Amino acid sequence: MSNSISNSNNTSAKNAGNAKTNILENIVGYSEGVERKRAREKTGSDFSQEKWKTSNDIAKLHPKRLQLKVAEVIQDTPSTKTFRLVSTGAILPPFQAGQYINLYVNINGVETARPYAISSCPTHRADPENGYYDLTVKLVDGGFVTNYLLHNVEVGQQFSATSPMGTFYHNPLFHGDKLVFLAGGSGGAPARAMIESVLNRGLKIDFHLIYGNSYENDVIFEDTFRELAEKHDNFHLTEVISRPTEGYSGRTGHLNAELITDVIGSVEGKTFYVCGPTPFNEFCEDQLTSLGVQGKHIRIECNGPPKTPSCLENWPSVVSEQDEVRVKVQGKGEFIAKVGEPLLNSLERNGYTVENACRSGECSLCRVKVIEGEVFNPPEARLRKSDETFGWTHSCVAFPTTDIEILY
Ligand SMILES: Cc1cc2nc3c(=O)[nH]c(=O)nc-3n(C[C@H](O)[C@H](O)[C@H](O)COP(=O)(O)OP(=O)(O)OC[C@H]3O[C@@H](n4cnc5c(N)ncnc54)[C@H](O)[C@@H]3O)c2cc1C
Ligand code: FES
């Protein structure tokens, strides 16, 4: 009896191991990396002496910076354009559908960046001649970078960007094969990459996209999604419009618990991806929680700093977003900043460069130490206890509420 249990345990452990190996072998460059490791092991190499070889292998798969050129600009909707970017250097690195790159721009001398999800399927990046990433950008009223991208960028223009990053993607080992994507507005961008990735690879995954938009003439990838839903039994599409014109006959309103259960039935055994503006993400999370979906089955993509930090809990009532404070950068200089502007943005506008990627409080790259004064850290700052204790803050989501002195 105990033998048969241990045999079946061995078999399932072996199967799990095989599945993991198969997944890894699909990653471009993985098998070659393993071969090189084996060859080094045979010669009894001391890996510490070959450190540079390993880091070179990693850098080939995931370079720190990509050099990109706009090959095409596609007007998707009145408010949205897709920028098709090709590499001017090495072949574009692989990525998981749902990941983003941080795009660097120089706007009238201000060096800044914004993260954008890659909206094309990973299969389109590998062609050495024509491989590309699509970035799909929705105009934000008064937005610094979106106004520049949508109104000034032309074919041929060059940019640098980070390699693909982020954890918002389907993990077959943990997320199962019944996926529901709740997208709002520009959240359609990673949704397209994920859906096409599932369908192009013929994966046995059931995928339901519930896509909320304000206006029916501003639905990104509407035709693509409709055609795919027509063609594939395992892809279902529900469109929801919150501000319909008179006579609109589709679903209207918000992605609330009632609508979700109405279109997908039971939430049992399903993994939910949520991507849209932060208030949309928070609303969807609340609705899913009210339906009994556990946190581990809800994957939420971040979406930048809070738009109106003064509305958040613990905002000091004595300051308003329009107030100005003095920011001293130890050993480098000082400038005046608006309280309501993320510290990273005001640093960049005043010529200071701080490494960054997610611009949403997640990756920690933009950490600066607050030596004197106070900053407001919203919940998305996700500061480690030690950071809080020693005064470090994520400048991308930190708001200076008094004069401050920082070090980085
Ligand atoms: C991981 C990640 C992936 C992203 N992917 C995409 C994507 O694929 N497509 C895309 O279009 N965007 C995406 N974004 C958002 C993007 O990074 C920028 O935040 C957005 O384009 C606005 O930049 P901006 O410089 O124009 O606005 P900013 O100048 O940074 O903002 C100015 C003001 O505009 C308002 N504002 C800013 N952002 C928003 C918003 N999203 N909704 C409403 N009001 C806003 C606020 O009042 C803000 O104070 C993503 C963000 C993250 C973190
Ligand atoms: S840029 Fe990622 S935490 Fe600030």
Q: Looking at the CA of 113, which ligand is closest?
A: 1
User: What pLDDT is attached to residue 246?
Assistant: 95
CA distances in angstroms from 317 to 149, 343, 346, 400, listed in the order given = 36, 19, 22, 14
**pTM of this prediction?**
0.87
Question: From the CA of 148, how far away is ligand 1's center (Å)?
Answer: 13
Express as a percent the part of the chain with pLDDT over 90: 78
Q: Is the CB of residue 201 less than 8 Å from the CB of residue 293?
A: no
Q: Which of 35-39, 94-98, 164-168, 173-177 has the lowest mean pLDDT?
A: 35-39
d(CA 141, CA 289): 31
Is 75 in a helix, a strand, or coil? strand
270 lines ligand 2 (CB under 6 A): no
143 lines ligand 1 (CB under 6 A): yes
Question: From the CA of 394, how far away is ligand 2's center (Å)?
Answer: 6
Q: Is the CB of residue 355 less than 8 Å from the CB of residue 65?
A: no
Say whether pLDDT at 12 is over 60: no
Structure tokens at 161: 């960007």
**Ligand 1 closest atom vs CA 149:** 26
Task: Single out the residue of 244, 136, 115, 150 nearest to residue 188, CA to CA.
Answer: 136
Overall average pLDDT of the 183-192 stretch: 98
Which top CATH class is 65-162? Answer: mainly beta
280 lines ligand 1 (CB under 6 A): no
DSSP 262-302: HHH---TT-EEEEESSHHHHHHHHHHHHHTT--GGGEEE--
148 lines ligand 1 (CB under 6 A): no
CATH code, 207-300: 3.40.50.80
360 lines ligand 1 (CB under 6 A): yes
Is 364 in a helix, a strand, or coil? coil
404 lines ligand 2 (CB under 6 A): no
How do residues 149-165 score in pLDDT, each as one tens digit?
999 999 999 999 999 99
Structure tokens at 397: 């989501």
Overall average pLDDT of the 120-137 stretch: 92
Structure tokens at 291: 């339906």
CATH topology (fold) of 309-407 = Ubiquitin-like (UB roll) (3.10.20)
363 lines ligand 1 (CB under 6 A): no
Q: Is the CB of residue 113 less than 8 Å from the CB of residue 144?
A: no
363 lines ligand 2 (CB under 6 A): yes
**Eight-state DSSP code of residue 15:** H
How do residues 283-319 score in pLDDT, each as one tens digit?
999 999 999 999 999 999 998 999 899 999 999 999 9
Residues 6+ apart with CB under 8 A from 68: 85, 86, 87, 88, 133, 158, 159, 160, 161
136 lines ligand 1 (CB under 6 A): yes
Helices marked H in 26-170 — which ranges?
30-42, 51-61, 144-152
d(CA 203, CA 70): 31
How does residue 384 score in pLDDT terms, banded at 50, 70 and 90? confident
Question: From the CA of 363, how far away is ligand 2's center (Å)?
Answer: 5
How do residues 92-128 score in pLDDT, each as one tens digit?
999 999 999 999 999 999 999 999 999 999 999 988 7
**Ligand 2 closest atom vs CA 357:** 1
Question: From the CA of 258, how far away is ligand 2's center (Å)?
Answer: 35
117 lines ligand 1 (CB under 6 A): yes
Task: Single out the residue of 193, 38, 223, 27 nearest to residue 101, CA to CA.
Answer: 193
How does residue 14 score in pLDDT terms, banded at 50, 70 and 90? low
Write phi, then psi, for 54 (nearest 5 degrees): -65, -45
Q: Looking at the CA of 359, which ligand is closest?
A: 2
